[in-house]
Amino acid sequence: MQELCRLENIRKYYDLGEKIYPVDGISYSINRGDFICIQGPSGVGKSTLMYAIGSLLKIAEGEIYYMGEPISRKTDDELTEIRGNFIGYIFQEANLIKALTLEENLKFISTINRKKFGEEERARLESLLERLGLSDYRNHLPQELSGGQKRRAMIAGALIRNPELILADEPTNDLDDHWSMEVMKIFKELSEEGKAVVFVTHNEKWAKCAKEILELEGGKLIQAHITQDA
Q: What is the pLDDT of residues 63-99, one digit of tens each?
A: 999 999 999 999 999 999 899 889 999 999 888 999 9
DSSP reduced 3-state for 176: coil
Q: How far apart are CA 223 and CA 207, in angstroms?
A: 14
Contact between residue 6 and residue 29 where contact means Cβ atoms under 8 Å apart: yes
Task: Give the per-residue pLDDT at 205.
Answer: 94
pLDDT greater at residue 220 or residue 44: 220
Q: Which of 156, 158, 212 is nearest to 37 (CA)?
A: 212
203: which strand partners? none
Task: Give the per-residue pLDDT at 94.
Answer: 85
Q: How far apart are CA 207 and CA 47, in angstroms?
A: 15
Indicate the domain borders of the chain: 3-226
pLDDT greater at residue 148 or residue 116: 148
Q: pLDDT category, 183, cuts 50, 70, 90? A: very high
CATH, domain 3-226, list 3.20.20.20, 3.40.50.300, 3.40.50.9100, 3.40.50.1820: 3.40.50.300
Is 90 exceeded by the pLDDT of residue 162? yes
